[in-house]
Amino acid sequence: MYRLDEFMADLERKNPAEPEFIQAAREVVESIIDVVNDNPAYVHAKILERITEPDRVYSFKVEWEDDNGDVQVNRGYRVQFNNALGPYKGGLRFHASVTLGSLKFLGFEQTFKNSLTTLPLGGGKGGSDFNPRGKSDNEILRFCRSFMTELQKYIGPNTDVPAGDIGVGAREIGYLYGQYKRLQAENTGVLTGKGRSWGGSLIRPEATGFGSMYFAEEMVKAHGDTFEGKRVAISGFGNVAWGAAMKASMLGAKVVTISGPDGYILDEEGVNTPEKWAYMVALRNSNNDVVAPYAKRFNAKFIPNRKPWEVKVDMAFPCAIQNELNLDDAKTLVANGVKYVVETSNMGCTADAVTFILNQKIPFGPGKAANAGGVAVSGLEMSQNAMKLSWSEEEVDAKLHTIMKSIHSSCIEHGTESDGYINYVRGANIAGFKKVADAMLDLGY
Ligand code: 2IT
């Protein structure tokens, strides 16, 4: 029998100074501990110890030259968390906040998320503390080359398939893949998020945002409600926020905010035209990491140094980074009558914010369910690469839609409480866990 406090104290002892990993692990373990204790096979197999320990972690030095001719040194990582269900799969994050602990949290989350997608994908994550802000295109190229020179030793199309994440978009995937091909002399699906003409899948750029809106649409339907006319707050303005703003608008909602590290945009007209969406991409690609210019360009309001959660909305979608929505933000949203909160970033809400929202019985979509569309379409990109063919936009979008509906059904199956409240956190954790744990039992140790 496992006891939550004992298990978590031990995990903290083994993983000191990794608060994000502990936060992610605690949330999952809290959800699944009864399921584990009710199954002697899980207890006997030490499933909790095994599922919270990454299979392996690579840490490497990345040396590159900046535009002044100075040598720069960063640290690169790849965390191969769990491959019970398939090759390690998960993004690469280039961001100043990257540490081993943050990548362990992301690799851990990815394992359960990938399990929920229904596709044969294990979980991994990687990245670097390289900060793309203010870097030139040539500096990014040189960094990517050096990073891949090391990373290529540990990945492969049937072993570990990285993709993008914060700070890694189509440009970086191109530079990384170019270097991989130089070193390995082969065209394989070793990365996803590739460009359309060199092995990429249609809909992959949009997939995380689209998927989170498909998931939210199912949540809304399950509560006898509709998307039409909902006021929506989105944070961020990058790869994920972009797709989310597009699909929310297409579904009839009005997105009134986007945000950056410098503050947020309040656009009462709605972030709802192809011109505005294209501008978000251009802003992101400029590497300045500020959202303020949008206000000038489209005659919207810019509120410096604040987060969008103070705006009165029906639905809130954190789409930027972990722990971007805290307890105070959650209280403000609830006081303003928010009806749904859907994490589109990984662990976008702090633990106390999640607990507060759940206690208010407000439907809350956790990241590992709601944002799984991105990695799901990465899985579809791998299938297309393996078959050496490409599916149409309609085919990929239809598959993505089916996958998001199936994730929603899994949450209902495992998360519906006696009073009828759908606890999506519990549902996603149990459904994601069971598949991985059962595979681990089948595979032995
Ligand atoms: O957090 C995520 O799911 C991603 N960054 C996407 C990973 C992937 O392999 O497409």
DSSP, collapsed to helix, strand or coil, labels residue 128 as: strand
Residue 13 domain-assigned (yes or no): yes
Residue 386 domain-assigned (yes or no): yes
Helix, strand, coil shares of the chain as percentages rounded to 5?
Answer: 50, 15, 35
Cβ contacts of residue 394 below 8 Å, gap of 6+?
none
- Taking the CA of residue 114 as reference, the ligand 1 atom at the shortest distance is 3
125 catalytically annotated: yes
Q: What is the pLDDT of residue 377?
A: 98
300 and 419 assigned to the same domain: yes
Q: What is the pLDDT of residue 436?
A: 98
| E strand or H helix that includes residue 301 | strand 301-304
DSSP, collapsed to helix, strand or coil, labels residue 233 as: strand
How many whole angstroms separate alpha carbon 174 and alpha carbon 76?
18
Residue 388 in tokens: 């050496």
CATH of the domain at 405: 3.40.50.720
Confidence of residue 221 (pLDDT cuts 50, 70, 90): very high
Residue 197 domain-assigned (yes or no): no
Confidence of residue 315 (pLDDT cuts 50, 70, 90): very high
How many whole angstroms separate alpha carbon 368 and alpha carbon 13?
26
Residue 311 domain-assigned (yes or no): yes
228-269 residue pLDDT tens? 999 999 999 999 999 999 999 999 999 999 999 999 999 999
Residue 196 domain-assigned (yes or no): no
Residue 273 in tokens: 């035209």
Average of per-residue pLDDT values in the chain: 98
Q: What is the pLDDT of residue 83?
A: 98
Residue 176 belongs to domain spanning:
54-186
**Contact between 429 and 31 (Cβ < 8 Å):** yes
Cβ contacts of residue 427 below 8 Å, gap of 6+?
369, 410, 411, 412, 413, 414, 415, 416
Q: Is the CB of 375 under 6 A from ligand 1?
A: yes
CATH of the domain at 154: 3.40.50.10860
* Tally of domains in the chain: 3
59 and 46 assigned to the same domain: no
Report how far apart, in Å, the C-alpha atoms of 231 and of each of 39, 315, 380 are: 44, 6, 32
135 and 277 assigned to the same domain: no
Confidence of residue 3 (pLDDT cuts 50, 70, 90): very high
Residue closest via CA to ligand 1's atom 9 equals 90
59 and 47 assigned to the same domain: no
Of 153, 186, 219, the one marking the end of a domain is 186
Q: What is the pLDDT of residue 381?
A: 98
395-420 residue pLDDT tens? 999 999 999 999 999 999 999 999 99
DSSP readout, 411-439? HHHHHB-TTS-B-HHHHHHHHHHHHHHHH
327 and 350 assigned to the same domain: yes
Q: What is the pLDDT of residue 4?
A: 98
Q: What is the pLDDT of residue 143?
A: 98
146 and 207 assigned to the same domain: no
- 91 Cα to the center of ligand 1, angstroms: 4
Sign of CA dihedral 225, 230, 233, 239: positive
Residue 163 domain-assigned (yes or no): yes
326-343 residue pLDDT tens? 999 999 999 999 999 999
20 and 161 assigned to the same domain: no
100 and 46 assigned to the same domain: no
Of 122, 151, 186, the one marking the end of a domain is 186
60 and 107 assigned to the same domain: yes
Residue closest via CA to ligand 1's atom 4 equals 91
Cβ contacts of residue 352 below 8 Å, gap of 6+?
326, 327
- 99 Cα to the center of ligand 1, angstroms: 17
269 and 414 assigned to the same domain: yes
- 371 Cα to the center of ligand 1, angstroms: 9
Q: Which residue is catalytic, options 104, 125, 230, 276?
A: 125
Of 120, 153, 186, the one marking the end of a domain is 186
Exposed / middle / buried, residue 383 (Cβ in 10 Å: 0-12, 13-18, 19+): middle
Residue 194 domain-assigned (yes or no): no
354 and 440 assigned to the same domain: yes
69 and 113 assigned to the same domain: yes
Read off the amino acid at residue 394. E
The total of other beta-carbon atoms located within 10 Å of residue 419's CB is 6
117-161 residue pLDDT tens? 999 999 999 999 999 999 999 999 999 999 999 999 999 999 999
Q: Is the CB of 378 under 6 A from ligand 1?
A: yes
Residue 275 domain-assigned (yes or no): yes
